[in-house]
Every structure is written in C-alpha cells, then in structure tokens.
C-alpha cells in the first residue's frame, strides 16, 4: 500500500505553498530577495505567465513563511529569522530541525573524522579565541588548519572514548596512506578500535569549502571563518549548553554572549570599554539603543561608550598590528604567522603581566 502524501491542515494551503516548503527545505536558508525569486517562479508556473520577482512583496513572502511554519510544525521543523550581524538590514530565514541534537544531524551527512574536526573548529572559535580580553569567535585559515588533528594526548576513538595515540601518524603533507579517510585502527584482543587521527590539510580545506557552500560558515574579506546566521539559529542552544557555565553569576563573563538590546547571540558587534562589564551589542542594536539617549554611556556600568571596542573578528582586524600587517601583505610581503594567534598571544601576555603586578 503506497504511503499517503502528507497534507497539512492549514487554511489556504495549496500547491504553491507546498512548492514553497519544498524549495525552502532544499535551500536551508533564504533572504527576502531569494524568496522573491523563488516565489515568482512558483507563481509563474501556476499562472502560466511570468511574474516579476520585484512584484512579490515582503507581506506576501511572510504569508508563505507563516503557512510553511504551520505546515511543518507537527514534523518538528520550524522556520526562524535573524538579522545578519555584519550586513546591516539583511535578514535571513532558516529551515530548522527542532527535535534532534544539531551534532547528531551533522553525523548523518559527515564522516566521524569530519564531525570530530567540526567540534575542534567550534572549540577554537568559542574557547581558544574567545577570552575576556579578546572575543574573536572566528578563526583564520592558519588556525583552522592547525585544528586538523586532535592533540596527541587527547587522541580519541571515533566512538568517543579516550585512547592511546596511534602508533603511526600521517604528516599534514602526506596525501597518500591507506585505510579510510581520517582513521587509523588499533587491534585489540577481539576488536579493532578506530582512532581519530584527524584530517589532512587538503581534507580540511575541502570541508571548509563545503560548510561555506551550505551556509554553515562565512568567510570574511579579511580571511576569517565564523558561524553563519543559519548556524547560529540552528546551534544557539547547543552552543550555550556546551560553552556557558549554568552556575555562573548573572553578571559573570560567559563565552556565548547575547545582545543587551535584542537578546540574540552576539558573535560580531561592540562591547563596553570596561573589561568587566558584560554588555554586548550588535552594530544595528547599538544605533537603536543610543538613538534616544542624551548621553552615550553604557546602560550597565555608566562607562562612556566610544564604540571602539569590538566583538568578533574586528577585535583583531581593528588593531594597529593587523593594519600594518595588511599593508605589508599589500606590498607583496607575506608572513607564515597567524594574525589571530599573534593578537591573542599578545593579550595573554598582557594579562599575565598585569596579574604579576597585582601579586607584587
């Protein structure tokens, strides 16, 4: 007996709505201009004559979004929207699975070695390069490649249990090697245990390219990889569970920050000049917040707000050292050093010196 086609009980739901849902699921994310083009194509097919994408209004598009949300809710899907943090005025809608753990969903389309790398990449963004002094939450290519393999002392089986480092390690430049991609095996008395030996550099670059194409990551003009609006909408709860301390005090620093104005996650924006203050704002929210205020002071601690302290890659790129490095690169002089690693190393050194002074 053939399966019955799923027909949601939504008033006014017709074939154009069904085509819209199918198209949205295939894309994963959508902006309004993209939605205009898709809806124009659907309506053109229905009416038999060409519909100009510019004639599709935001209200019409949001009506289709609303019916799509109602249609897929019983299947544990949702459509959410978020503003792009770096591109003012640009809004993204994303088709979200609200039932499964995000990492479990990755596991259905990625190899165990790739999934392990993605976790290391996220740890680099939100652990290694996200400190009270410098909240970068992004990585450059050099640091992304550096995470190609787990540290030897933390080498794990792909089943999740810690294990000894494999007896043979393939160098980053080794493009040969037998066995499956990113895996080694150690034979036990009765079973063979698969070891996470990481990925080759070429495999990392291929994976990053795939994540960019699928709009899980974004790559800035300055060469920094960061989470896309889709990823932030999909992973927000998981990120907070993984990186934030549930027992932290209300005004204690946390690795995953939310905007003091809109309450959404901030990975690109501004911060208070007072290092111990936890106020973070998106650029657009900063303008909204201070537009109606007489004085530009932090509403949390009353420190003067200068708008020159950043969250995200600008915590690195706005620094004089990066600007000088950009000039050198523009003159054809290259460096093997990572600007990100240099900037964070400098901040850690300053912090250690301040701690030493306080102890004295």
Per-residue pLDDT band at 347 (split at 50, 70, 90) = low
Per-residue pLDDT band at 165 (split at 50, 70, 90) = very low
Any domain includes 268: yes
- Give 268-308 as a DSSP string: SEEE-SSTT---EE-HHHHHHHHHT-SS-B-TTT--B--S-
Mean pLDDT, range 211-229, rounded to an integer = 94
Mean pLDDT, range 94-118, rounded to an integer = 82
Any domain includes 317: yes
Mean pLDDT, range 17-30, rounded to an integer = 93
Domain boundary among 32, 54, 75: 75
pLDDT given at position 106: 72
Is the pLDDT score of 87 beyond 70? yes
Residue 306 Cα to chain centre, angstroms? 27
Dist CA 212 CA 39 (whole Å): 25
Asked whether 126 and 239 are in contact (CB, 8 A), the reply is yes
Per-residue pLDDT band at 334 (split at 50, 70, 90) = very low
Dist CA 58 CA 30 (whole Å): 13
Higher pLDDT, 309 or 170: 309
Higher pLDDT, 343 or 114: 114
Any domain includes 98: no
Any domain includes 111: no
HSE on the CB side for 56, CA within 13 Å? Answer: 21
pLDDT given at position 123: 95
Instruction: Summarize pLDDT for 45-84 with one digit per residue, the tens.
Output: 998 999 999 999 999 999 999 999 999 998 889 999 999 9
Any domain includes 108: no
Is the pLDDT score of 169 beyond 60? no
Q: Tell me how many helices (H) and strands (E) the chain has.
A: 12, 13
Domain that holds residue 268: 246-347
Domain boundary among 56, 75, 94: 75
Any domain includes 125: no
Any domain includes 133: no
350: helix, strand or coil: helix
Is the pLDDT score of 182 beyond 60? no
* Helix orientation angle between 112-123 and 201-213, rounded to the nearest 10 degrees: 80
Alpha carbon distances (Å) from 182 to 145, 185, 186, 212: 14, 11, 14, 21
pLDDT given at position 322: 78
Domain boundary among 54, 75, 96: 75
Domain count, the chain: 2
Any domain includes 177: no
CATH of the domain at 330: 3.30.40.10
pLDDT given at position 80: 93
User: Nearest 5 degrees, angle CA 215-CA 92-CA 131?
Assistant: 65
pLDDT given at position 109: 82
Per-residue pLDDT band at 192 (split at 50, 70, 90) = very low
Q: For 159-291, where are the alpha helices, taking DSSP H only? A: 201-213, 229-243, 283-291
pTM beyond cutoff 0.85: no
């Amino acid at each position: 007996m053939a399966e019955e086609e799923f027909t949601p009980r939504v008033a006014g739901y017709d074939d154009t709505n069904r085509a819209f849902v199918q198209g949205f699921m295939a894309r994963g994310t959508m902006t309004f201009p993209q939605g205009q083009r898709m809806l124009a194509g659907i309506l053109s097919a229905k009416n038999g004559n060409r519909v100009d994408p510019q004639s599709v209004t935001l209200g019409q598009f949001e009506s289709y979004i609303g019916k799509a949300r109602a249609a897929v809710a019983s299947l544990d899907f949702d459509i959410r929207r978020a503003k792009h943090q770096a591109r003012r005025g640009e809004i993204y809608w994303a088709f979200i699975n609200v039932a499964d753990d995000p990492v479990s969903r990755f596991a259905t389309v990625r190899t165990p070695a790739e999934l392990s790398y993605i976790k290391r990449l996220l740890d680099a963004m939100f652990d290694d390069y996200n400190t009270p002094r410098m909240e970068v939450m992004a990585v450059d290519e050099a640091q992304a490649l550096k995470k190609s393999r787990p540290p030897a002392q933390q080498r794990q089986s792909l089943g999740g249990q810690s294990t000894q480092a494999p007896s043979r390690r393939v160098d980053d430049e080794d493009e040969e090697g037998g066995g499956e991609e990113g895996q080694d095996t150690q034979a036990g008395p009765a079973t063979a245990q698969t070891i996470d030996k990481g990925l080759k550099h070429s495999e990392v670059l291929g994976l990053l390219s795939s994540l960019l194409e699928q709009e899980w990551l974004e790559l800035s003009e300055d060469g920094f990889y960061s989470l896309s609006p889709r990823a932030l909408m999909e992973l927000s709860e998981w990120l907070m569970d993984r990186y934030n301390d549930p027992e932290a005090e209300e005004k204690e620093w946390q690795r995953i920050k939310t905007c003091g104005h809109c309450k959404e996650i901030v990975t690109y924006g501004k911060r208070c000049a007072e290092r111990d203050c936890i106020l973070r704002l998106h650029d657009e929210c900063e303008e909204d917040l201070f537009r109606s205020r007489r004085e530009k002071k932090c509403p949390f601690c009353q420190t003067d707000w200068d708008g020159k302290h950043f969250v995200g890659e600008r915590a690195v790129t706005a620094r004089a050292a990066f600007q000088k490095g950009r000039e050198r690169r523009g003159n054809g002089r290259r460096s093997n050093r990572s600007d990100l690693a240099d900037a964070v190393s400098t901040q850690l050194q300053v912090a250690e010196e301040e701690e030493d002074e306080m102890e004295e």
